Structure 1
Amino acid sequence: MSGGAGAAGGAGVPAYEVRGLVVRYGKVTAVRRVDVSSPPGRITALLGPNGAGKSSLLRVLSTAARADAGSVRIFGHDVRRSPMAARRALGLVFQERTLDKELSVERNLWFHARLFGMRRADARGRIALMLELFGLQDRARRPVEELSGGLARRVEIARALLHRPGLLLLDEPTNGLDPSARSAVWADLTRLRDELGVTVLYSTHYMDEAEYADEIVIMRDGRVVRQGSAARLKSSLDSSRIVVASADDALAATQLRAAGFAPLTGPDGVAVHCPDPESRVADVVRALDVPGLTLSVRHPSMNDVYLAAAADGQVSTR
């Protein structure tokens, strides 16, 4: 990719910076004193259950809603004081489909260019580039209603990047797509980061999609409860383990305790928790003399991180 949407703002300016954000709907507080920020060129995932505050945070960042307290800046532009400057620095992809289905792919892009006041020559060049970058040249004249869900989503991302924003906001970007289309969307988004330096912030309820991000922000009840890279969040759980399955789990547990381990019996067998389970497999095998023995090494998953965050609600940052 070349000639795409680079970051806006001066050197060292965060792509977005949220400080002390509070969002209320009547008597309900949807976002409670949230602080999040990102340097340019990072992909960040917002993870959390329905009602966690993810969409409310994105709505304020997109300038579609006002904060009740706190500050929000997009490449240095305060969304309250300079909403137009902030909007020009970001591109939006909503969960709901917003393309005009009766118009062609190309006409949808032209309509967006006019909304942003792009000059005709500039718009023509940008549209041609977006069609090329997203492999849409041969579908440019086709009505959107004839496209698959995955291709339509690709058009929406292309449209969001037309005016050269540095920040791309996406709310559940792969909702309703099949696995192949979901994979294609993430290939596009990682290319945008790697080749154009676009900053990406997206919400998702898919654990596997959170792992595409450089940074994961888990929200619960309007608060950030955990934050960091996938690797850092997993390692923070300290729940790597060797799982022993056999014809006699009770005997296996007894033998492991006699060898100095602290086994825990669960539905999958007997677990021995340790920081580096690969290095202890041989010790566990030597301690056991039970029929039907099988061993497996397991490390924490994003699902484990998510469940831990939901259970304790305690703030844990990088």
Structure 2
Amino acid sequence: MHDPALEVTDLSFRYGKKEALRSVSFRVMPGEFCALLGPNGAGKSTLFALLTRLFVARQGRIAVMGQDLQTNPRAALACMGVVFQQMTLDLDLSVARNLAYFGALHGLSRREAALRAGAVLERLDMAERAREKARNLNGGHRRRLEIARALMHRPRLLLLDEPTVGLDTRSRAAITAHVHALARDDGIAVLWATHLVDEVAPEDTALILHQGEILQTGRADQLAPKGGLAAHFMHLTEEPVT
């Protein structure tokens, strides 16, 4: 049996007196597409900040491919690729140079970085844009470039925080399909944070987060087989009437 690519155990976090996460526990297995669903303010961004060590967890445990993020952060972080909600590309560099720079940060030789860049751009239907400046790309292609960059060091876990925000329906569908294919074909574990339930396939794992707590987790089509995931999600996260 495979070990989890990501294992989160009893994770809690506070901003002063405000509790942002409360005893969050879950696993993401290799090849699994896990959709982290939650409305704005649910705690998704806080969770991603802890997973990427932008914040340091003082309560609970995070392990990536068996590596404890607290005690062995370098090994844990080396196993993951990240696409943040806010764009982090250098717009004055070409597509290829953005990837080459990232490859150098991970210790790749120029030749190896070029080979990997060509492969990931081909996979994401971006090969013909390698020499274009990032600022000349539309929103959907910029997101594809960020995903390509996150794959340069061949991570076993891919974290994406609201990666389709601001994109049109066609671009959202294309990027969602690409990332599902990465999980299915390459065995990459994916944690995809979103508030858009149409990005979740029936066979995906759905993890519903609300007010810092996990309300429910399971295969998407088994969580809400009748009314659909959208209705189920809205019902679970609606505020109680007082």
* TM-score interval (norm. to shorter): over 0.9
CA distance in 1, matches of 2:57, 2:111: 38
Deviation at 1:308, TM superposition (A): 2.3
Moved over 6 A (4+): none
Residues 221 and 229 in structure 2, CA contact (< 8 A), matched pair in contact too = no
Match of 1:219 among 209, 215, 238: 209
Q: Output the amino acid matched with 1:148.
A: N
CA distance in 2, matches of 1:55, 1:198: 21
* SS state at 1:153 partner: helix
Residues 45 and 213 in structure 1, CA contact (< 8 A), matched pair in contact too = no
Q: Which runs of 5+ in 1 are unaligned?
A: 1-10, 236-298, 314-318
* Paired residues for 1:8-23 under 5 Å: 12-23=2-13
CA distance in 1, matches of 2:167, 2:235: 28
Deviation at 1:53, TM superposition (A): 1.0
CA distance in 1, matches of 2:239, 2:192: 24
**TM-score, length of structure 2 as denominator length:** 0.95
Deviations 1:57-83 (A, max 9, x none): 111112221112010000001001111
CA distance in 2, matches of 1:185, 1:222: 27
Compared CA separation, residues 125 and 17, structure 1 to 2 (3 A): same
Compared CA separation, residues 84 and 213, structure 1 to 2 (3 A): farther
Aligned to 2:21: 31
Aligned to 2:68: 78
Pairing 1:204–2:194 present: yes
Pairing 1:229–2:196 present: no
Deviation at 1:162, TM superposition (A): 0.3
Aligned to 1:301: 228
CA distance in 2, matches of 1:28, 1:312: 18
Q: Output the amino acid matched with 2:208.
A: I
CA distance in 2, matches of 1:194, 1:301: 23
CA distance in 2, matches of 1:302, 1:39: 22
Aligned to 1:95: 85
Matched length: 240
Compared CA separation, residues 187 and 212, structure 1 to 2 (3 A): farther
Match of 1:49 among 36, 39, 58: 39
Deviations 1:263-314 (A, max 9, x none): xxxxxxxxxxxxxxxxxxxxxxxxxxxxxxxxxxxx302122112212489x
C-alpha RMSD of the superposition: 1.5
Deviation at 1:118, TM superposition (A): 1.4
Compared CA separation, residues 212 and 86, structure 1 to 2 (3 A): farther
Worse overlay, 56-65 or 144-153: 56-65
Deviations 1:90-128 (A, max 9, x none): 000011111111110000001101111112332121111
Deviation at 1:37, TM superposition (A): 0.5
* SS state at 1:132 partner: helix
Compared CA separation, residues 212 and 114, structure 1 to 2 (3 A): farther
Identity of aligned residues (%): 41
Q: Which runs of 5+ in 2 are unaligned?
A: none
Q: Output the amino acid matched with 2:58.
A: D
Aligned to 1:137: 127
